């Protein structure tokens, strides 16, 4: 039986799920506003996120996703210590449950609200920034079905679609958006696309559109067992 956060199902009423993840985001460059690729020093962004979900009803699961991180840039000092990132609260409601012999997949809708609990501006150094500074609402439609292979094994397939909406952010001094000391501006988070390599624990097809800050990063490698769609960064993955 599949379970959230990776699938379209929900927890049975009264059940609690705590599922921690560790990951490392490796960045070697980004695309500028003209679409040119700019090479940067190798850097690591270590992080953790933990799904803490509770089955409020058989069809409704609610939960929290706290995050922590540590940045190790290639051309400067790292984060002063492990810090708190943004906190996400979520609810997932199952619309339909797959039954053997039926063509209709398990289907659920998911709503997430990310709270800007991590530091993002007025930083003594940029590597201390672990949050986005914006309230972000993410709407998702999750589907999952099963196919019986000729050898008798079961192939589980998923197709998820998500869209995130972020508010503008007022930043001051050194921030995660590249501003410098004594500089202030209002940033509107824009859509970006990040290249990632992800190792999936199961066969999956996921489409997601996450909104993040103005810098569009690329050539990012990720070492983790997380599905792409659950990373706390912008991505389009299929």
Stated pTM of the model: 0.70
User: How do residues 26-46 score in pLDDT, each as one tens digit?
Assistant: 998 888 888 899 998 899 999
Share of residues in the chain with pLDDT > 90 (%):
45
Q: Which residues pair with 16 in a beta bridge?
A: 54
Q: Is the pLDDT of residue 225 over 90?
A: no
Looking at residues 195-219, what average pLDDT do you find? 37
Distance CA 79, CA 66 (A): 18
Which has the closest alpha carbon to 165: 200, 193, 189? Answer: 189
Distance CA 44, CA 1 (A): 35
DSSP E strand stretches across the chain: 16-31, 37-57, 60-65, 67-72, 83-84, 87-96, 106-115, 136-148, 154-166, 169-172, 184-187, 190-191, 205-209, 211-212, 216-223
- Across the range 111-125, mean pLDDT stands at 93
The model's pLDDT over 128-182, given as tens digits with 9 standing for 90+, comes to: 999 999 999 999 999 999 888 999 898 989 999 999 999 888 888 899 888 888 7
What is the average pLDDT value for the chain, to the nearest integer?
A: 78
**Phi–psi pair at 228, nearest 5 degrees:** -55, -40
User: Tokens in use for 228?
Assistant: 């792409």
Q: What is the mean predicted confidence (pLDDT) over 122-132? A: 90
CA distances from 160 to 6, 175, 183, 202, 210 (A): 10, 32, 39, 14, 13
Q: In which residue are the tokens 């090479």 written?
A: 39
Confidence at residue 2, expressed as pLDDT on a 0 to 100 scale: 54
């Amino acid at each position: 039986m599949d379970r959230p956060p990776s699938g379209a199902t929900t927890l049975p009423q009264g059940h609690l799920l705590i599922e921690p993840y560790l990951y490392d985001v490796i960045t070697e460059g980004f695309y500028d506003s003209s679409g040119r690729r700019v090479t940067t020093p190798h850097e690591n962004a270590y992080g953790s996120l933990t799904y803490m979900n509770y089955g409020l009803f058989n069809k409704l699961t609610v939960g929290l996703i706290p995050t922590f991180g540590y940045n190790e840039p290639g051309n400067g000092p790292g984060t002063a210590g492990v810090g708190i990132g943004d906190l996400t609260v979520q609810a997932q409601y199952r619309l339909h449950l797959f039954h053997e012999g039926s063509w209709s997949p398990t289907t659920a809708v998911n709503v997430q609200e990310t709270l800007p609990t991590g530091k993002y501006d007025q930083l003594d150094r940029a590597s201390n920034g672990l949050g986005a500074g914006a309230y972000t609402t993410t709407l998702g439609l999750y589907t999952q079905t099963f196919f019986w292979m000729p050898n008798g094994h079961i192939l589980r397939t998923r197709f998820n679609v998500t869209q995130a909406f972020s508010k503008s952010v007022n930043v001051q001094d050194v921030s995660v958006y590249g501003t410098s000391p004594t500089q202030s501006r209002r940033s509107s988070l824009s859509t970006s696309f990040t290249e990632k390599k992800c190792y999936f624990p199961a066969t999956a097809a996921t489409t997601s559109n996450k909104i993040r800050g103005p810098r569009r990063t690329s050539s990012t490698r990720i070492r983790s067992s997380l599905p792409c769609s659950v990373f706390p960064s912008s991505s389009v993955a299929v």
